[in-house]
Amino acid sequence: MLKKFKDLTEKEILAIAIAAEEEDGRIYGEFADALREEYPSTAQMFEEMREEEVSHRDRLIAMFRQRFGEHIPLIRRENVKGFLQRRPVWLVRPLGVNVARKQAELMEMEAGRFYARAASRTTDVSTRELLNKLADEERKHKQTAGELEEKHLTASAKASEAESHRKLFLLQVIQPGLAGLMDGSVSTLAPLFAAAFATHKSSDAFLVGLAASIGAGISMAFSEGLSDDGSLTGRGSPWLRGGVTGLMTTAGGIGHTLPFLIGSFQLATLVAVIVVAVELGVISYIRHRYMDTPFLQAAFQVIVGGVLVFVTGWLIGSS
């Protein structure tokens, strides 16, 4: 059963502060360990923040012993109503640098609120003085965190970490999304246009294209998600990669399927062909922009592949 904050004794309040500083120090250590390879400057910043938390904990323990003796009650923030419920983001690998920084801000904000509230509800003069000192330490910690960030995140360090962030975004979002878009745009051409030229009915072509797009999206999502768990390759969560790949595969097929909602078969086919051309152009640009592929080379590869599949569908449907 959770305790109410107003029911805590001065001894319990100080015990929570000790446990909180100890836990926050471990979390900053986890941040530093998770970010050290890709974001070394930020990792060093969190390492120094961890050392600061350890220093705060040791001073709090000394204060506790002076007032209450050796035995520190086992009471933590989760045992008291009103504290924020923290998601264990520090256990996730790979850890996003922006997620870590945001979590650190929330931790500091919560600690500051705790000390301010505790001081306002204390009537004992010595205890109020003690809690005000803790609040001062927390404000100093916020200032220290800002100084550490300024110290470690120099212009060159920020540029280096921005490049690392771009590479992770490329591995975790752009590459699986591009693979899905290419598969959806190209693999659904043959069945879609085969059905269109075989039946000369927009409704039949739309149903075939819709089924092919959704089926390809599901298949690609599972294929990408099960390819690896991202722990060694740094490609991120398999759920994220699988979801991005599946959605982009379906989107790539749906794009040139939607024109067949038009009742006129000839007009629908013309619009679909235009949409296919636009899709292939977008894919070529993305490959050029994010994969460092020369635009003409990317366009040639994608367009030739699309034309071959389109012709295959046309020949099958017309036979």
Nearest to 56 by CA among 97, 118, 3, 112: 112
pLDDT tens profile 252-299: 888 888 888 888 888 988 888 888 888 877 877 777 776 666 666 656
Contact 251, 184 (CB under 8 A): yes
Higher pLDDT, 216 or 155: 216
| Alpha-carbon dihedral angle through residues 49, 50, 54, 56, given to the nearest 10 degrees | 30
What is the per-residue burial (b if ≥16 Cβ within 10 Å, else e) of 209-240? bbbbbbbbbeebbebbbeeeebeeeebbebeb
Q: Residue for token digits 């220290």?
A: 144
List, for residues 72-131, the tens digit of each pLDDT value: 888 887 788 766 556 666 566 666 666 777 777 767 777 777 777 878 777 777 777 777
pLDDT (tens digit per residue) in 175-233: 777 777 777 777 787 788 788 888 888 888 889 888 888 888 888 888 777 765 554 44
pTM score: 0.49
Residue 244, C-beta contacts closer than 8 angstroms, at least 6 positions apart: 173, 176, 177, 180
Q: Check whether the bond before 94 is cis (ω within 30° of 0).
A: yes
Question: pLDDT by residue (tens digit) across 16-50?
Answer: 888 888 888 888 888 888 878 777 877 888 888 88
How many beta carbons lie within 10 A of that of residue 129, not counting itself? Answer: 12
Q: How far apart are CA 249 and CA 213, in angstroms?
A: 7
